[in-house]
A and B are shown apart, each in its own frame.
Chain A
Amino acid sequence: MSAAARLYRRSPLARTLFSFFTVALVFLIFADLEIATVDPWDEFGRLLTGIVTPDFFATENLISALVNTLAFAFLGVAFGVGFGFLLALGFHSRAVRTFCVVVRAVHELFWALIFLQLFGLSPLTGILAIGIPYAGIVAKVFAEILEEADGRAVDAAPSGASRLSTLLFVRLPDVWSHFRTYALYRLECGLRSSAVLGFVGLPTLGFHLETAFRQGRYSEVSALLILFYVIIASQRLWARRQLVPVYLIGAALVLPWATHISGANITRFLTIDIVPFPLRNGDGISGLIDWLWLLISTQALPGSIATIQLTMIALVATGFLSALMFPFISPQMFGRPVRGISHFALVVIRSTPEYILAFVFLQLWGPSMLPAIVALALHNGAIIGHLIGRHTETLALRADAPTGLNRYAYELLPRVYRNLLALLFYRWEVIMRETAILGILGIATLGFYVDSAFAELRFDRAIFLIALTAVLNIAIDVTSRRVRAYLRLRTTLEGR
């Protein structure tokens, strides 16, 4: 046996990575990566010109778009964190845990598409679209924080104390700062989600971004994005505890509540529209089977295959890209100037939602998997690259450690690759959720069929397909947890 073969014979990690890599490669061979636009670089040139010449006065919509984006984010995240906190307290119940798994397996945009049918363009649509899935995520993380908290204080509490007293006096004080940090992080995610909700018609940033993009007004695109980055980058300055009530009341005041919500509409949607057509029509079980077969063979199956295909390619691409990105912000590799520029680039890339990145690349290259792969890998690669790069700041290398590429390959990568993989597998489910949603942009993943079903008012199909995305997400979540446990990969709170 050769030396190398012996090196890897015993390594489950190397074998696992090799399988992932092979799967992605096979999928890549069958992927449609064609650039369909006639002059992609020409358009790119115009976009770049627009980016460097932002026009902050192109439209008075700019301010209202930002205000609405903030307002939906505040109320949605507040709902999600509050509801999630309550759910976390009941996390020992199986029903609560299942509820959380299901609500967070459905993407915000799918929730928005559903709530649009129920509440129309009422602010409730946006708030719940963010708040419901966030509640599921927040509940899980808060419950984990509570679980990891020091149990000794609880043991020391008087045995007769009520559960609420124990919670308030003993358990919460210790974990409160973790909760606050995580809520702040959720607010950042909420801003991105809120911006993206514009793409399905809510009056946030995405709405104006899409319009400006379609009309080629790139200076306006640039202004919208720059203001968005400024808001996210300055979050630490304005996100203050004392100001929370001001923001929440302000947000509630600026949103247009006047929209009429029809109770009959809601009832109709929940009791008739989403019931599979053959059942509604009295076609019985055989009718239902035909309906299912047609839906599965023409939409669910091809959609699922494309979703998994894109997810696997994007996952592996994200891994490579994050390994490529982190050295540029690592003090072990580069001096201040390079690191400064790289930090800036990573902040911009990871602040831009995948959906918006994919939208931009789609405009440039036309509909294929390429824009989606690049968008997913860039965004997630920048997030992981940032965390790993920061992690290398804590490494102490020996005084005569090698330099350059040798240092990267022998000293840095071997020390951080397990953390990198832990984060990567942790984001597997996130990538899957986003992949499904990118279908709305015209890539043939499940989101594409969901969006078409909504457009054709076939809500029974839409709900079935959304449920399918949820099942896929849960399956990936379980698989990812198994893989991480098998490879003994651990993520820290910061990585969630």
Chain B
Amino acid sequence: MHILDLAGVPAGYVGRPVLQDIHLRIETGERIAIVGESGAGKTTLLRLIREHCTAPTAIIPQDLGLVQALSVFHNVYMGQLHNRSTLHNLRTLFWPAVRDVDAVRSVLTPLRLPDEIFSAVRRLSGGQQQRTAVARALFNDAPVLIGDEPVSAVDDHQAREVLSLASTQKETVIVALHDRALALSFADRIIGLKDGKVALDTLTAGLQPGDLDGLYKS
């Protein structure tokens, strides 16, 4: 079953790279890494995917989109705002239910953030903030995860951990990555962008980092 079927959709946004002639079909259950030089159109492609995806999506934007003044708990809880009554959400701002706190903590634990659950996000390091954004997307029950460089601020070991965690919890995972080795080890399909075009779309099995060099040399 596919969740996306793009046939020659053009995409251009003000101030962003224009994508040309995108043909893309994504099946449920795929692990896709999008690679390419900065400015190649990765963010624009992710946006296009999100807009045309037929299944609900949870996103990790490049700028994270966290609310700095709120706690980690509240930022992660936001992943479920749409599933709770507005009344419950308002109550949670001031008086969170134990059930919700436990649920959020269970998402934070594998991300090594359980102790920061009641810290304001603005007090966290860059890596901790990024993992908070990941937690928010994982707490969201949407089956499709779309992440724009979701592990750029954590070390290599943690990056692998976070991505495999995401793979076990989401049906479909689509992430833009700049680390080619990481992309190859995590994904089962690679989409390479160059100058606003899909230059490469292949399964990762047997691929070496060097095979992606063509995307980066101009």
Find chain A residues with CB under 8 A from B106 CB: none
Cα–Cα distance between A405 and B90 once the two chains are bound (Å): 9
Give 15 pairs: A residue, B residue, CB < 8 Å, sorted on A.
Answer: A2-B98, A3-B96, A3-B98, A3-B101, A4-B94, A7-B96, A399-B50, A399-B59, A399-B65, A404-B86, A406-B81, A406-B89, A409-B89, A410-B89, A417-B69
Say whether chain A's binding surface is mostly helix, strand, loop, or mixed: helix
Q: Is the CB of B59 within 8 A of A398?
A: yes
* In the complex, chain B residues 91-126 whose Cβ is within 8 Å of any chain A Cβ: 93-96, 98, 101, 118
Q: Is the CB of B81 within 8 A of A402?
A: yes
**Known: A3-B98, A6-B118, A405-B86. Contact between A411 and B67, CB under 8 A?**
yes
Binding site for B on A (CB under 8 A): 2-4, 6-7, 396-402, 404-406, 409-411, 414-415, 417-418
Find chain B residues with CB under 8 A from A4 CB: 94-96
Minimum-distance CB pairs A-B, first 3: A398-B65, A414-B69, A4-B95
Find chain B residues with CB under 8 A from A396 CB: 63
Select one of A397, A400, A405, A406 contacting B58, CB under 8 A. A400
Q: Is the CB of B67 within 8 A of A414?
A: yes
B80-92 to A contact mask, C-beta < 8 Å, 1/0:
0110001001100
Cα–Cα distance between A400 and B82 once the two chains are bound (Å): 11
B131 at the interface (CB under 8 A from A): no
Q: Is the CB of B78 within 8 A of A7?
A: no
Q: How many residues of B contact A (CB 8 A)?
A: 29
CB distance from A420 to the nearest CB of B (A): 11
* In the complex, chain B residues 43-94 whose Cβ is within 8 Å of any chain A Cβ: 47, 50, 57-59, 61, 63-65, 67-71, 73-74, 78, 81-82, 86, 89-90, 93-94
Cα–Cα distance between A378 and B81 once the two chains are bound (Å): 32
Question: Which residue of chain A lies nearest to B96 when distances are taken between CB atoms in the complex?
Answer: A3
Find chain A residues with CB under 8 A from B78 CB: 402, 410
Q: Is the CB of A415 within 8 A of B67?
A: yes
Cα–Cα distance between A34 and B10 once the two chains are bound (Å): 65
Find chain B residues with CB under 8 A from A418 CB: 69
**Known: A398-B59, A402-B82, A404-B86. Contact between A415 and B65, CB under 8 A?**
no
Cα–Cα distance between A396 and B65 once the two chains are bound (Å): 8
Can you name 12 extra interface pairs (CB under 8 A) apart from A3-B118, A399-B65, A415-B69? A3-B98, A396-B63, A398-B59, A398-B63, A398-B65, A399-B47, A399-B50, A400-B57, A402-B82, A406-B81, A406-B86, A410-B67
**Known: A7-B71, A406-B89, A410-B78. Contact between A401 and B101, CB under 8 A?**
no
Select one of B50, B93, B95 contacting A409, CB under 8 A. B93
Q: Is the CB of A397 within 8 A of B86?
A: no
**Known: A7-B71, A410-B78, A418-B69. Contact between A398 and B61, CB under 8 A?**
yes
Find chain A residues with CB under 8 A from B98 CB: 2-3
Q: Is the CB of A410 within 8 A of B95?
A: no
Question: Which residue of chain A lies nearest to B68 when distances are taken between CB atoms in the complex?
Answer: A415
CB distance from A57 to the nearest CB of B (A): 52
CB distance from B200 to the nearest CB of A (A): 26
Question: Which residue of chain B lies nearest to A417 when distances are taken between CB atoms in the complex?
Answer: B69
Summed over the interface, the residue pairs from A and B with CB atoms below 8 Å come to a total of 62
Cα–Cα distance between A322 and B187 once the two chains are bound (Å): 49
Cα–Cα distance between A406 and B63 once the two chains are bound (Å): 21
Cα–Cα distance between A415 and B73 once the two chains are bound (Å): 16
Q: Is the CB of B70 within 8 A of A414?
A: yes
Find chain B residues with CB under 8 A from A404 CB: 86
* In the complex, chain B residues 7-48 whose Cβ is within 8 Å of any chain A Cβ: 47
Which of A4, A401, A402 has the most chain B CB atoms inside 10 A of its CB? A4
Find chain A residues with CB under 8 A from B50 CB: 399-400
Cα–Cα distance between A405 and B74 once the two chains are bound (Å): 15
Q: Is the CB of A410 within 8 A of B93?
A: yes
Find chain B residues with CB under 8 A from A399 CB: 47, 50, 59, 61, 65
Cα–Cα distance between A3 and B78 once the two chains are bound (Å): 17
Find chain B residues with CB under 8 A from A417 CB: 69
Question: Which residue of chain B lies nearest to A9 when distances are taken between CB atoms in the complex?
Answer: B118
Question: Which residue of chain B lies nearest to A410 when distances are taken between CB atoms in the complex?
Answer: B78
Question: Which residue of chain B lies nearest to A405 when distances are taken between CB atoms in the complex?
Answer: B86
CB distance from B56 to the nearest CB of A (A): 9
Find chain A residues with CB under 8 A from B64 CB: 398
Q: Is the CB of B59 within 8 A of A400?
A: yes
Select one of A3, A397, A410, A415 contacting B81, CB under 8 A. A410
Cα–Cα distance between A398 and B95 once the two chains are bound (Å): 25
Find chain B residues with CB under 8 A from A414 CB: 67, 69-70, 74
Find chain B residues with CB under 8 A from A406 CB: 81-82, 86, 89
Q: Is the CB of A7 within 8 A of B118?
A: yes
Find chain B residues with CB under 8 A from A397 CB: 65
Find chain B residues with CB under 8 A from A7 CB: 71, 73, 96, 118
Find chain A residues with CB under 8 A from B67 CB: 410-411, 414-415
Cα–Cα distance between A418 and B63 once the two chains are bound (Å): 21
Cα–Cα distance between A402 and B83 once the two chains are bound (Å): 11
Cα–Cα distance between A406 and B87 once the two chains are bound (Å): 9
Find chain B residues with CB under 8 A from A400 CB: 50, 57-59
Cα–Cα distance between A4 and B81 once the two chains are bound (Å): 18
Question: Which residue of chain A lies nearest to B137 when distances are taken between CB atoms in the complex?
Answer: A400
**Known: A3-B98, A399-B50. Contact between A409 and B65, CB under 8 A?**
no
